[in-house]
């Protein structure tokens, strides 16, 4: 795949299209000065060198996906899924895509079952109520549910499904539907979605975690939160009660912007700065996902690692 | 001993009935299981002839590191010794402690009764407020004892309903001191649910007497509201006002609980004793000392508004600049000038080159001096004017209910040409790309090419129903958007070919707004829609509680509009999420004007409201003597608006 052009010469090692996964490749390329990460309570943007190397000559959505058990766990409780349609036909319908990352929790395989049930439930509903009608030429009337409405309904359905199928399990879910240049986000838990555009990497979801609340109240700094013994405690998850409050947001996706969805096994280990560096250097979404997983494992891989990277058309 | 140790060697294995610890405590059964180990009921065998019961609390040392293990045991023994010296009726007696292997045991008085969580769960109703208050007072009493302990205060650290027992004498007993926390380790893996009752600072490792008061407040909040804080975002009690769930709780008790739940320990009570006194005072208290929590009374209904004794003076009078004021007493605004016409003014004024142009139901298009409000000229049509004027190429264009669109010379108010349709023209023409687009009650959208003395029809697009929604033209996509009385929202191209049609459930009068690839409009089906401007699929919709005649405007990432449900809305332009809503107390069919971070909009109560764009707070309000259906227009720091009271007003911003 030679879809990505590099603007800077790299060493031969860096230019390998598929680095050997067993070989621990840590890039030591000198990077431009990166400003300090700003604490999450302030607007979560910070300047980056624009991802110019991430160029895509096509008008299609590209993505990479990787999920790994990590080095310490005995099973992978994460779940992820992509559905991407890139239609080229009469009527010029927009690309439409679904991306989900879910991080399950619970013993006795309950975690992976909860995340799988959630991914299945959301995917089925979004496919039937958004993607399929869109491909068939949507009916334009007030009887059609909007994407945020379908997403909200599908999260509620997942919540019920997990309570029935996996009563002792729970899961996070971070879900993005892309249609045209809009990203519709629905989110519960502490998996994350980032938008990388115009030289900024911005966290567009809010962790439903104890330490995040403490940060919002000014009781903990980002550094304290990163090492807090209770940093894994969530206050909201799918499968944990009859009523579920779902965070929803809609964002405009600039041309060639990136969307990153990941479980805490990635962001909690690598940190935003390193993730941003990898994205800057990457030449292909799949390579970037593989490299992030590899580096999280090199850092000890304490948790399951799931990453999904979406690249918008030019 | 050896047989006991054998039993204990099973990880996570609990003691079996019949097992004897220390040759003394015979296990009878399990009372409960906690995160650190089990609590057993045991018989003290030193008392051979009586059946003396004890509670044996087991804590499993899960620390891997040897130094940490020893530290844990040392902490346990130190705390056990302190507990053994305490003497308070609400604190169970500690008889003994010992540890071996990876387990530590505390032998305590066995209490018969039920904990508060079990009591709460035993009913679906609210517990008597009086009872909860009494428990709070008793808990304050024992906390006061602990906090005044010498040489250093004892912090309970784990106040929550399940750690408070009510014994068979109906007295409160604290059963689980924070001693168990000594054994708590950070657990791997994600967990759901927080402790719910602990204050923010406790998560930084700070456990002070003030932390116990917060946790007591949290416990009382849970008991009073039946809302379990472990199932809510942490530290979010202020988002669940007690009386919203349980109106039986008086203001004074609410105030005490809220104070104890302050984020900042300094804002809580200075001592358990002080909190106890406040709780006792709530029994007889009538009025709370918490005025900042009271909501201002709603605005008086418009019928109470005294009408001005005389029409506003036509002469200019400059009033004080507007200031933010509390919601009830809106700052009133005096007009710079007002101009009396001969019938209602529902048309939106146009300000061009120092002159205000506006139509009236008195059939006239009026041209008024923008500064003084004097008459420049007027132009008579043969029907009432509900359409709004627009300017282009030396002419003012306006529709009339006499079925015509007029082009009037801007300088002298003389007719240049007219164009007759087969229905009343209530829409406001759109001028774009050298063409004039407007709709008519004859069901047609017209595209005219205007000349100096006549206009040539380029095309018309026919719907079956009257068109009262004014067209919006997007130059970039070369699209024209408008609604029809059938509820259709249409997109046609510049040659009059339909691109797409979106069906709502009721007629559309609102004028569309096109912004960044989206088109926004209201419908009489009570919704505001945001559609993809290219293809017509819906991005979001927001339901109000009444028809939306008002036309949305965009300002700084938000869309503003009014609804016949009496409210003005600010919603996020991309998601439709409500940012704020302001209730005017009467229908809002006027469309907002935006400027200087303020929203200007009229209401049927005769008011023109100036609202803060960020918050929806009222900056000022102008009262006319008739409904304001006209939409305001801003020019040079002046707002112009018409009213059904037959006046045009100029107001200072």
Q: B107-146, pLDDT tens digit by residue?
A: 999 999 999 999 999 999 999 999 999 999 999 999 999 9
Structure ipTM = 0.77
d(CA B557, CA B115): 52
Average pLDDT in chain B: 87
Nearest 5°: the CA angle A79, A80, A81 is 140
**Is there a contact between A224 and B204 if contact means CB atoms under 8 Å apart?**
yes
Assign B375 to helix, strand or coil: strand
Residues of A in contact with B575 (CB under 8 A): 148, 248-250
User: For A55-95, how does the pLDDT look when each residue is reduced to its tens digit (9 = 90+)?
Assistant: 444 578 999 999 999 999 999 999 999 999 988 888 778 88
| Structural domain includes residue A227 | yes
Q: Is B137 in a helix, a strand, or coil? A: helix
Q: Residues B586-641: pLDDT tens digits?
A: 999 999 999 989 999 999 999 999 999 999 999 999 999 999 999 999 999 999 99
Of 2.130.10.10, 3.40.50.720, 1.10.10.10, 2.40.10.340, the CATH number of B318-349+551-653 is 2.130.10.10
Q: What is the pLDDT of residues B627-647, one digit of tens each?
A: 999 999 999 999 999 999 999
pLDDT grade for B653, boundaries at 50, 70 and 90: confident
With CA atoms as reference, the chain B residue closest to A106 would be B191
**Which residue's entry shows tokens 């054994």?**
B183
Would strands A182-188 and A173-179 be described as parallel, antiparallel, or unpaired?
Answer: antiparallel
A200 within some domain = yes
Strand B191-192 and strand A233-234: the pairing is parallel
In this prediction, residues B276-293 reach a mean pLDDT of 66
Q: If you measure CA to CA, which chain B residue comes closest to A247?
A: B577
pLDDT tens digit string along B138-164?
999 999 999 998 888 888 888 999 999
**Could you tell me the pLDDT band of residue B414, with boundaries at 50, 70 and 90?**
very high
**In which residue are the tokens 């026919």 written?**
B462
Of B191, B504, B575, the CB nearest to A148: B575
pLDDT at residue A12, rounded to an integer: 39
Contacts of B574 in chain A (CB under 8 A): 182, 249-252
Q: What is the DSSP string of chain A?
A: ------SS---HHHH-SS--TTS--------PPPPPPPPTTS----B----TT----SSS-EEEEEEE-TTT-SS--EEEEEEEE---STT-PPPEEEEEEEEEE-TTTHHHHHHHHHHHHHHHHHIIIIIHHHHT----BTTSPPHHHHHHHHHHHHHHHHHHH-TT-EE-EEEEEEETTEEEEEEESS-EEEEEETTEEEE-S---BHHHHHHHTTSS-HHHHHH-TTTTEES--BTSSS----EEEEEE--TT-EEEEE-HHHHHHHHHHHHHHHHHH-SSHHHHHHHHHHHHHHTT--S-EEEEEEE---
Out of B194, B501, B529, whose CB is closest to A210?
B194
Mutate: best of A93, A225, A250, A252, partner B, most B CBs <10 A: A250
Among the CATH numbers 3.90.25.10, 1.10.510.10, 3.90.1170.40, 3.30.70.20, which is that of B113-183+197-288?
A: 1.10.510.10
Q: How far apart are CA B423 and CA B84, in angstroms?
A: 94
In terms of DSSP bridges, do strands B638-642 and B647-652 run parallel, antiparallel, or are they unpaired? Answer: antiparallel
Total of domains in chain A? 1
The answer to whether residue A138 scores a pLDDT higher than 80 is no
Could you write out the three-class secondary structure of B401-419? CCCEEEEEECCCCCEEEEE
Instruction: Check: CB of residue A121 under 8 Å from CB of residue A175.
Output: no
In chain B, what percentage of residues exceed pLDDT 70?
A: 88
Which whole number is the average pLDDT over A89-110? 89
Three-class secondary structure of residue B521 per DSSP: strand
Which residue on chain B is closest to A189 by alpha carbon? B192
For position A31, what pLDDT does the model report? 38
Render pLDDT for B186-198 as a digit per residue (tens, 0 to 9): 455 666 666 789 8
Whole-angstrom distance, CA of residue A67 vs CA of residue A135: 29
Position B183 scores a pLDDT of 55
Bigger pLDDT: A39 or A276? Answer: A276
| Residue of B189, B190, B523, B537 to mutate, testing the A interface (most A Cβ within 10 Å of its Cβ) | B190
Reported pTM: 0.77
B504 min Cα distance to partner chain A (Å)? 5
How far, in Å, CA of A172 to CA of A159, rounded?
A: 10
- Would you say residue A95 lies in a domain? yes
- Is the pLDDT assigned to residue B259 strictly greater than 90? yes
User: Which helix (H) or strand (E) is B56 found in, with range?
Assistant: strand B53-60
Q: Which of B192, B484, B503 to mutate to test the interface with A (most CBs of A within 10 A)?
A: B192
**Confidence band, pLDDT 50/70/90 cuts, at residue B178:** low
- The domain segmentation of chain B, as residue ranges, is 2-109, 113-183+197-288, 318-349+551-653, 351-387+389-469
Tell me the chain A residues in contact with residue B572 when contact means C-beta distances shorter than 8 Å: 250
Q: A219 to chain B: which residues are within 8 Å by CB? A: 200-201, 203-204, 263
Q: Is B574 an interface residue toward A (CB < 8 Å)?
A: yes
Q: How many angstroms separate the CA atoms of A41 and B97, rounded? A: 46
Q: What is the pLDDT confidence band of residue B89, given thresholds at 50, 70 and 90?
A: very high
Determine the topology of domain B2-109 in CATH: Phosphorylase Kinase; domain 1 (3.30.200)
- What residues are paired with B364 via a beta bridge? B380
CA distance B653 to B318: 11
Give the whole-angstrom CA distance, residue A100 versus residue A80: 5
- What pLDDT score was predicted for residue B176? 75
pLDDT of residue A137: 79
E strand residue ranges, B146-273:
164-167, 172-174, 191-192
Q: What is the DSSP string of B254-322?
A: HHHHHHHT-SSGGGS-SSHHHHHHHHHHTTT--S-S-GGGSPPPPPPPGGGSPPPSSPPPSS----PPP
Mean pLDDT of A118-134: 95
**Residue B477 at interface with chain A, using a CB cutoff of 8 Å:** no
What's the confidence (pLDDT) of residue B189?
Answer: 60
> Based on the number of CB atoms within 10 Å of its own CB, is B583 exposed (0-12), middle (13-18) or buried (19 or more)?
middle
Give the per-residue pLDDT at A28: 38
Average pLDDT of the residues in B222-237? 92
Q: CB distance A142–B505 less than 8 Å?
A: yes
pLDDT at B164: 94
CA–CA distance, A131 with B297 (Å, rounded to integer): 48
B500 touching A (Cβ < 8 Å)? yes
Q: Going by C-beta distance under 8 Å and a sequence separation of 6 or more, which residues neighbour residue A160?
A: none
Do the Cβ atoms of A94 and B191 come within 8 Å?
A: no
On chain A, the residues whose CB falls within 8 A of the CB of B204 are 214, 219-220, 224
DSSP state of B145: H
pLDDT confidence of A156, banded at 50, 70, 90? very high
Among A148, A217, A232, whose Cβ lies nearest the Cβ of B235? A217
Burial class (CB in 10 A: 0-12, 13-18, 19+), A158: buried
Distances in Å between the Cα of B181 and the Cα atoms of B108, B118, B177, B185 are 17, 22, 8, 8
Q: Is residue A253 within 8 Å of residue A246, measured between CB atoms?
A: no
Shortest Cα distance from B97 to chain A (angstroms)? 29
Give residue B500's pLDDT: 95
Q: Can you give the pLDDT at residue B167? A: 93
| Lowest-pLDDT range of A22-31, B200-209, B536-545 | A22-31
pLDDT of residue A189: 96
Q: Would the pLDDT of A50 be above 60?
A: no
Task: Kindly tell me the sign of the dihedral angle through the C-alpha atoms of B91, B96, B98, B104.
Answer: negative
Which pLDDT score is estimated for A48? 53
Inter-chain residue contact A252 with B574, CB threshold 8 Å: yes
Q: Would you call A237 an interface residue with chain B, using a CB distance cutoff of 8 Å? A: yes
Going by C-alpha positions, the residue among B332, B442, B431, B450 that lies closest to residue B389 is B431
3-class secondary structure, B613: coil
Range of the structural domain that residue A304 is part of: 43-311
In chain B, % of residues over pLDDT 90? 69
Residue with more model confidence, A28 or B269: B269
Checking if the pLDDT of A314 tops 60, the result is: yes
CB contact under 8 A, B505 and A103: no
Cβ pair B203:A220 closer than 8 A: yes
* CB contact A212 to B (< 8 Å): no
Task: Kindly report, residue by residue over B450-500, the tens digit of the pLDDT.
Answer: 998 999 999 999 998 999 999 999 998 899 999 999 999 999 999 999 999
CATH hierarchy code of domain B351-387+389-469: 2.40.128.630
Residue B566: per-residue pLDDT: 96
Q: Tell me whether residue A98 is in a domain.
A: yes
pLDDT in tens, A241-297: 888 999 999 999 999 999 999 999 999 999 999 999 999 888 899 999 999 999 999
pLDDT at position A273 is 94
CA distance B463 to B483: 10
Question: DSSP letter at B332?
Answer: B
Q: Mean pLDDT check: name the lowest of A139-148, B31-40, B358-367.
A: B31-40
A238, A170 in Cβ contact below 8 A? yes
Residue A293 lies in a domain: yes
Model confidence at A108, pLDDT cuts 50, 70, 90, reads confident
pLDDT at position B204, please?
A: 81
Position A37 pLDDT exceeds 70 = no
A181 interfaces chain B, CB cutoff of 8 Å? yes
- pLDDT at residue B304, as a whole number: 36
Position B324 confidence tier, pLDDT thresholds 50, 70, 90: very low
121-150 of A, contacting B, C-beta below 8 A: 134, 138, 140-142, 144, 146-148
In this model, does residue A47 exceed pLDDT 60? no
A219 touches chain B (CB under 8 A): yes
Q: What pLDDT is recorded for position A123?
A: 98
Residue B316: what pLDDT? 36
Q: Tell me how crowded residue B205 is: count the other CB atoms within 10 A of its CB.
A: 7
Would you state the structure tokens that stand for residue A287, as one six-digit string? 């390579």
Q: Which residue of A has its CA nearest to B523?
A: A142
Is residue A75 situated within a structural domain?
A: yes
Contact residues, A window 82-121, toward B, CB-based 8 Å cutoff: 93-94, 103, 105
pLDDT digits (tens, 9 = 90+) for B40-70: 999 999 988 888 999 998 888 877 778 888 8
pLDDT tens digits along B25-43: 999 998 877 667 788 999 9
CATH number at residue A300: 3.60.40.10
For the record, the structure tokens of B575 come out as 């998601």
Q: Which residues pair with B472 in a beta bridge?
A: B481
If one counts every other C-beta atom within 10 angstroms of the C-beta of residue B103, the result is: 19
pLDDT at A128 > cutoff 70: yes
Q: Is the model more confident about A96 or about A135?
A: A96
Closest partner residue to A219 (CB to CB) among B185, B200, B537 is B200
In a domain, A17, yes or no: no
Over range A177-188, report the average pLDDT.
Answer: 96
Nearest by Cα to B37 from B58, B55, B19, B21: B58
Q: Is the pLDDT of residue A211 over 80?
A: yes
> Which residue of A lies nearest to B206 if distances are taken between CA atoms?
A219
Q: Which of A16-30, A38-52, B5-19 has the lowest mean pLDDT?
A: A16-30
d(CA B372, CA B355): 10
Give the pLDDT score at B291.
41
Interface contact flag, A217 B186, Cβ < 8 Å: no
**Average pLDDT for chain A:** 83
């Amino acid at each position: 795949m030679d879809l990505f052009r590099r603007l800077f010469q790299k060493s031969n090692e860096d230019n390998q299209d598929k680095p050997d996964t067993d070989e621990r490749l840590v890039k030591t390329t000198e990077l431009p000065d990166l400003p300090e990460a700003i604490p999450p309570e302030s607007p979560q943007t910070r300047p980056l060198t624009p991802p110019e190397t991430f160029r895509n000559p096509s008008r299609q959505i590209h993505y990479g996906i990787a999920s790994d058990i990590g080095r310490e766990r005995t099973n992978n409780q994460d779940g992820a899924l992509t559905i991407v349609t890139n239609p080229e036909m009469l009527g010029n319908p927009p690309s439409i895509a679904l991306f989900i990352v879910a991080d399950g929790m619970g013993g006795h395989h309950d975690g992976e079952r909860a995340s799988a049930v959630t991914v299945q439930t959301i995917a089925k509903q979004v496919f039937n109520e958004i993607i399929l009608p869109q491909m068939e030429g949507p009916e334009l009337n007030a009887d059609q549910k909007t994407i945020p409405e379908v997403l909200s309904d599908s999260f509620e359905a997942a919540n019920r499904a997990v309570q029935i199928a996996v009563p002792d399990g729970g899961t996070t879910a971070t879900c993005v539907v892309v249609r045209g240049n809009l990203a519709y986000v629905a989110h519960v838990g502490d998996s994350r979605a980032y938008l990388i555009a115009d030289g900024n990497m911005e966290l567009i979801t809010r962790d439903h975690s104890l330490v995040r609340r403490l940060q919002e109240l000014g009781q903990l700094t980002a550094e304290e939160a990163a090492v807090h013994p209770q940093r894994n405690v969530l206050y909201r998850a799918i499968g944990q009660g009859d009523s579920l409050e779902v965070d929803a947001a809609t964002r405009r996706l600039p041309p060639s912007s990136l969307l990153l969805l990941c479980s805490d096994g990635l962001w909690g280990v690598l940190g935003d700065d390193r993730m941003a560096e990898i994205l800057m250097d990457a030449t292909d979404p799949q390579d970037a996902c593989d490299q992030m997983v590899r580096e999280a494992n090199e850092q000890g891989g304490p948790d399951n690692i799931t990453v999904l990277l979406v690249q918008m058309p030019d | 001993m050896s047989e006991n140790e054998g039993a204990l060697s099973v990880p996570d294995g609990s003691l079996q009935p019949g097992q004897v610890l220390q040759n003394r405590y015979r296990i009878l059964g399990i009372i409960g299981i906690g995160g650190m180990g089990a609590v057993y009921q045991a018989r003290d065998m030193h008392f051979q002839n009586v059946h003396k019961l004890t509670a044996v609390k087991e804590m499993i040392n899960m620390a891997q590191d040897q130094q940490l293990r020893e530290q844990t045991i040392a902490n346990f023994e130190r705390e056990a010794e302190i507990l053994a010296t305490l003497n308070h009726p609400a604190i169970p007696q500690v008889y003994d402690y010992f540890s071996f292997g990876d387990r530590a045991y505390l032998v305590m008085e066995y209490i018969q009764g039920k904990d508060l969580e079990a009591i709460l769960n035993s009913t679906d109703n609210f517990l008597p407020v009086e009872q909860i208050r009494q428990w709070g007072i008793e808990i304050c009493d024992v906390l006061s004892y602990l906090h005044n302990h010498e040489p250093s205060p004892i912090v309970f650290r784990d106040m929550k309903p399940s750690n408070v027992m009510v014994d068979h004498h109906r007295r409160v007993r604290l059963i689980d001191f924070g001693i168990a926390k000594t054994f708590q380790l950070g657990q791997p893996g994600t967990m759901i649910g927080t402790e719910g009752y602990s204050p923010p600072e406790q998560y930084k490792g700070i456990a002070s007497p003030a932390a116990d008061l917060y946790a007591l407040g949290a416990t009382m909040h849970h008991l009073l509201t039946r809302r379990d804080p472990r199932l809510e975002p942490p530290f979010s009690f202020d988002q669940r006002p007690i009386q919203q769930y349980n109106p039986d709780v008086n203001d004074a008790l609410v105030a005490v609980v809220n104070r104890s739940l302050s984020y900042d320990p300094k804002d809580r009570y200075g001592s358990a004793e002080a909190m106890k006194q406040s709780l006792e005072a709530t029994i007889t208290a009538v009025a709370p000392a918490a005025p900042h929590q009271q909501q201002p009374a709603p605005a008086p209904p418009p019928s109470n508004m005294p009408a001005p004794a005389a029409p506003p003076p036509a002469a200019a009078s400059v009033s004080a600049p507007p200031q933010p004021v509390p919601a009830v007493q809106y700052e009133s605004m005096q007009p710079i000038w007002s101009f009396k016409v001969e019938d209602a003014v529902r048309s939106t004024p146009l300000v061009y080159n120092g002159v205000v142009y506006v139509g009236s139901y008195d059939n006239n298009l009026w041209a008024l001096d923008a500064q003084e409000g004097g008459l420049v000229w007027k132009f008579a049509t043969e029907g009432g004017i509900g359409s709004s004027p627009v300017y282009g190429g030396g002419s003012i264009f306006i529709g009339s209910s006499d079925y015509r669109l007029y082009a009037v010379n801007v300088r002298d108010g003389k007719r240049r040409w007219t164009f007759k349709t087969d229905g009343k023209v209530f829409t406001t023409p759109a001028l774009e790309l050298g063409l004039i687009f407007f709709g008519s009650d004859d069901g047609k959208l017209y595209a005219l090419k205007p000349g100096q003395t006549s206009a040539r029809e380029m095309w018309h697009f026919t719907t079956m129903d009257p068109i009262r929604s004014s067209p919006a033209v997007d130059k970039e996509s070369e699209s024209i958007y408008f609604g029809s009385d059938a509820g259709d929202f249409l997109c046609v191209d510049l040659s009059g070919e339909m691109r797409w049609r979106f069906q709502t459930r009721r007629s559309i009068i609102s004028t569309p707004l096109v912004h960044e690839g989206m088109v926004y409009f209201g419908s009489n089906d009570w919704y505001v829609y945001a559609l993809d401007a290219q293809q017509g699929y819906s991005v979001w919709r927001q339901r109000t509680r009444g028809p939306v005649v008002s036309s949305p405007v965009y300002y700084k990432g938000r869309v503003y509009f009014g609804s016949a449900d009496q409210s003005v809305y600010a919603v996020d332009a991309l998601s439709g999420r409500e940012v704020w809503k302001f209730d005017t107390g009467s229908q809002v069919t006027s469309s907002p004007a935006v400027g200087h971070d303020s929203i200007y909009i009229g209401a049927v109560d005769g008011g023109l409201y100036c609202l803060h764009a960020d918050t929806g707070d009222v900056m000022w309000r102008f009262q006319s003597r008739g409904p304001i259906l006209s939409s305001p227009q801003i020019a040079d720091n002046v707002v112009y608006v018409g009213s059904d009271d037959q006046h045009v007003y100029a107001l200072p911003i």
